[in-house]
Every structure is written in C-alpha cells, then in structure tokens.
Amino acid sequence: MLPKTLTFLSSIGLALPALAMAATELDTNGDGLLTLDEVQVVLPDTTAESFTAMDANSDGALDVEEVGMAQDAGLLPKG
C-alpha cells in the first residue's frame, strides 16, 4: 500500500501546487485517497457539492484519476 500512497501523493504534488504544500499531511488516514475534509485543509472553499461533482465513482473520496478529471473540468486548479 505504501508505494500506491506515495505514487498518489506524488501525482497530486505534480498536479496541484496548493495540495503539494501539504501533501504529507493531506491523506491523514493513509488510504491513498482524498476525502472532502482532507481536501478542505488546503482548499477550504471546496464545498460538499463541488466535491461530489469531482467524486466520479461516488465513493466519498478522490483518487488520482478523479483529481485529473476535476482539473480538466475546471473544478480543481491545474499545476
């Protein structure tokens, strides 16, 4: 699981400078996914509604693919 988590955090770090600033602290539960609470640490204006729009598979968390799709849709800033 550690390589997957590190890969995810590296991807976030390259893709979102705002998230990169707190990448080591973002995934507080260490599952390799970002929850709304974790995203709001560095992007406090993220609402439940906008997070739901980014959460393509409706699992309550963002994976690397969902972050990329959210960037392409303009819901998250691009790096």
Q: Is 35 a residue whose pLDDT tops 50?
A: yes
53: containing domain: 2-72
pLDDT at 2: 53
For residue 16, tell me if it sits in a domain. Answer: yes
Give CA–CA dist 52/60, Å, rounded: 8
Give the CATH number for residue 38. Answer: 1.10.238
For residue 44, tell me if it sits in a domain. Answer: yes
Taking the model in full, what pTM does it have? 0.66
For residue 78, tell me if it sits in a domain. Answer: no
For residue 13, tell me if it sits in a domain. Answer: yes
Neighbours of 78 (CB within 10 A): 11
For residue 77, tell me if it sits in a domain. Answer: no
